[in-house]
Amino acid sequence: MYDLAMLRYSLACITVAVLATSSASTPRPHPPTSADPYKLPGYPVFIKQCAPCHGEHGDGLGQGARFLTPAPRDFRRTQLKFFSTDNGVASGKDIYETIAAGIGGTSMLPFAQLGEATCWSLVDVVAAFRERGAREALEQTGLTGTELETAVAGKCNPSPASDLPPEPPATVDTASRGLILWREAGCVTCHGEAARGGEVQVAQRGGSTMSVRVPDLTTGVLRQVPTPFNLANRIRRGIGGTPMPATNLGGDDLWSLVHYVKTLIPEGAQAIADPVWGRLPAARLTGELPTSPDDPRFAEVPITWLPLAPFNAFDRSVSMIGVQPLASSTHIVMRVVVPDATRDVPSKTSDAAPDGIALRVTPVSKPPVLPVAGQMPVLDRAVTYTGAMPRVEDPVFIASGFENPEAVCKTVAPAARTGTSTYVQGTWRHVIAVRTEMSGPPNASQPLSVSLAVFNGSAKRGPLPTAFSAWRELVVSP
Ligand code: HEC
Ligand code: HEC
C-alpha cells in the first residue's frame, strides 16, 4: 500500500546514512585522552542532546534511561560495541560513525544533522568519559605511575586496524558458500538455521550482567548500517561486550559470510530503523479546525512516513507512522496514520491500556530528542488516547517506578482541541491538534519543530509511549 513512499523514504535515509559515514573518512587522530570531559567544547551539546539518556557524567544514568531497552551505554565502564580496530577499542572514527548514523532499531538516533564538527566534538567527550572511567577503576585496583598509565592506554587507546582482505564480487556462489559457513563457523548455534535469533543471552557489561537478545537478522533492522565493511568488521571482530564473538576466518570465508548475511536483509529495510531529522511539508489550514480523519482537507496533503525509535528495541510493533499536517499561525492539526495490528481501547469490560499518539511542538531548533523536565520550552503538546487515561493505580506505573504519571501523561490541550480516531483494517487514523502562537504559518525562515510519540496498549506500558519520532521542521509550502 505505501510502497512507493517507502521506497523514496528508504533511498533518502540510505543517502543520509552513507553521507554520515563517508564524511568521517577524513583521517583524524584518535581522541585525546586525559581531557576533562566537563570542560571540552562538545560538553554543552552533550548535556542537551545526549545526557537525557547517557547521563551528565556519561554513566548511562540519564533521566530517560530507565524507560529504555537496551540501556544507553555507560561510557565510563563498558566496552563499546562497534569498533574496527585490532585491540577492540573503538577509534574516534568508529565513535563518530555511531553518533552520526545512530544504532538502528534502538532509541539511539542518528545525529548527523548536528554537523560534522559537532559530532567530532562529541566523540571527544565520549572518549574522555571512557578514559576517566577506566582510570578510576584501575586506580581502585591499586595501580599507580607508569603501570597505571600503561593499563589506561591499553583500555582506551585504539590500535591501528589491520586491513580487511579485499572484497571479491558478490555472486550466488560466494553467498552459498556463506550459507555453509553459517553452519560450520557456529553462527547457527546462536542465530539459528533461519537467522531468526530470539534467544536471550547473558552478557557481562560494566561489572553487571544484562540480557542481550540475538537479533532476527531477517527483519533487516541491524544496529550498524549493514555496509559490507561494517558486516565484515562485526563478523571478524565481534560486538564489544556482548556474546557475539570474533572469528578468525580467512578473507574469502569472511566475505562469503558477509554476502550470505546480505541475502537475509530485505532491501531498504534499514530505513524503518533510523528516524532522521528533516523537513515536514504541511498544507495551509484555513477555516474551522478539522476534527474527523475523514475531513477532505487532509487528502490534499502528501503523507510523510516517519520511522520511530522504540523505547524497547524488542517491541517494534509500531515502527512507523504517516502524517498529514495542516498549519495556520494559531494551530497545527495532523491526521496521523498508525499501522497497528491490535486495537486497544479501554472499556467497561477491558482495562487494557489505550492506543494513542502525542504531538509536541516547539520553536526551538534541533531540540533534544528526549527532552527532560524543565530543559526545553515546549510551546504546546497534545495527547490523544483511544479511551480514558489508564488509572493512576495501573500496575504499569508501579512496575516502571513512574512517580508522577499525571504530570507527564495528562493531556495539556483541552479535549475540544483533540480530534477523533478511527480503526479500520489494522490501521488507526487519528486527528490531533495543538495550539501555536506565530505571526504567520510556519515557513522556511520560521519553522516549527514537531515530534510525535505512539502509545500501543498491547505493549503493556500503560500510559507510557512505546516509540517516538525524531524532530521534524514543519513548513507550510508557499
Ligand atoms: C534517547 C536516548 C539516547 C540519546 C538521546 C542518545 N543516545 Fe547514545 N545510545 C543510546 C542507547 C540506548 C545506546 C545503546 C544501544 C545498544 O546497546 O545497542 C546508545 C549507545 C551509544 C554509543 C555506544 C556505541 C557503541 O559502539 O557501543 C555511543 C558512542 C553513543 N550512544 C553516543 C551518543 C551521543 C554522543 C549522543 C548525543 C549526541 C547520544 N548517544 C544520544 C541512547 C541514546
Ligand atoms: C555466542 C552467540 C553468537 C554467535 C556464535 C554468533 N553471534 Fe552474531 N550476534 C549475537 C548477539 C547476541 C548479537 C546482538 C548483539 C547486540 O546487538 O547487542 C549478534 C549480532 C549479529 C549481527 C548484527 C549486527 C548488527 O549491526 O546489528 C550479525 C550480522 C551477526 N551477529 C552475524 C553473525 C555471524 C555471521 C556469526 C557467525 C560467524 C555470528 N553472528 C555468531 C550472538 C552470536
Q: Which helix (H) or strand (E) holds 101?
A: helix 92-101
- How confident is residue 399, by pLDDT bands cut at 50, 70 and 90? very low
- How confident is residue 21, by pLDDT bands cut at 50, 70 and 90? very low
With 50 as the cut, is the pLDDT of residue 25 above it? no
CA of 71 relative to ligand 1 center, distance in Å: 9
Instruction: Report pLDDT for 3.
Output: 36
With 90 as the cut, is the pLDDT of residue 213 above it? no
CATH H-level superfamily of 172-270: Cytochrome c-like domain (1.10.760.10)
Instruction: Identify the residue whose C-alpha is closest to ligand 2 atom 36.
Output: 187
Instruction: Identify the residue whose C-alpha is closest to ligand 1 atom 14.
Output: 72
First vs last C-alpha separation in the chain = 29
| Distance separating alpha carbons of residues 112 and 119, to the nearest angstrom | 7
The grid coordinates listed for 399 are: 512496575
DSSP 462: T
CA of 252 relative to ligand 1 center, distance in Å: 33
| Distance separating alpha carbons of residues 358 and 385, to the nearest angstrom | 9
Could you tell me if the CB of 467 is within 6 A of ligand 1? no
With 80 as the cut, is the pLDDT of residue 392 above it? no
| Region of residue 253 (left: phi > 0; alpha: psi -120 to 50; beta: else) | alpha
The whole-chain average pLDDT of the chain stands at 83
With 60 as the cut, is the pLDDT of residue 123 above it? yes
SS3 184: helix
| Distance separating alpha carbons of residues 205 and 79, to the nearest angstrom | 8
CA of 470 relative to ligand 2 center, distance in Å: 27
| Distance separating alpha carbons of residues 111 and 368, to the nearest angstrom | 11
Q: What is the CATH number of domain 275-476?
A: 2.60.40.1190
| Distance separating alpha carbons of residues 395 and 397, to the nearest angstrom | 5
**Average pLDDT, integer, range 148-165:** 91
| Region of residue 82 (left: phi > 0; alpha: psi -120 to 50; beta: else) | beta
CA of 108 relative to ligand 1 center, distance in Å: 5
What lies within 8 Å, CB to CB, of 364 at 6+ separation is: 376, 377, 449
CA of 214 relative to ligand 2 center, distance in Å: 7
DSSP 287: S
Give me the DSSP letters along 220-273. Answer: ---SS---HHHHHHHHHH--TTSS-------HHHHHHHHHHHHHHSPTTGGGGG
Our mutation pick for probing the ligand 2 site, out of 108, 229, 244, counting the most ligand atoms within 8 A of Cβ, is: 244
What lies within 8 Å, CB to CB, of 407 at 6+ separation is: none
Ligand found nearest the CA of 70: 1
Give the closest residue to 380 by CA, choosing from 355, 397, 395, 359.
359
Look at strands 467-468 and 309-310 and give their pairing. Answer: antiparallel
Instruction: Report pLDDT for 375.
Output: 65
Cell 531497552 found at:
69
What lies within 8 Å, CB to CB, of 67 at 6+ separation is: 311, 400, 464
With 60 as the cut, is the pLDDT of residue 184 above it? yes
| Distance separating alpha carbons of residues 177 and 246, to the nearest angstrom | 19
Ligand found nearest the CA of 75: 1
Could you tell me if the CB of 223 is within 6 A of ligand 2? yes
Give the closest residue to 12 by CA, choosing from 306, 318, 309, 263.
306
**pTM summary value:** 0.89
Burial class of residue 133, CB neighbours in 10 A (0-12, 13-18, 19+): buried
Instruction: Report pLDDT for 380.
Output: 75
| 3-state percent breakdown (helix, strand, coil) of the chain, nearest 5 | 35, 20, 50
Could you tell me if the CB of 187 is within 6 A of ligand 2? yes
Peptide bond into 377 cis (omega under 30): no
CA atoms within 13 A on the CB side of 121: 17
- How confident is residue 208, by pLDDT bands cut at 50, 70 and 90? low
Cell 495556520 found at:
328
pLDDT in tens, 286-340: 999 998 999 999 999 999 999 999 999 988 889 999 999 999 999 999 999 999 9
**Average pLDDT, integer, range 256-262:** 97
Extents of the domains making up the chain = 12-156, 172-270, 275-476
DSSP 312: B
Instruction: Report pLDDT for 199.
Output: 62
Instruction: Report pLDDT for 388.
Output: 61
Give the closest residue to 222 by CA, choosing from 80, 103, 93, 311.
103
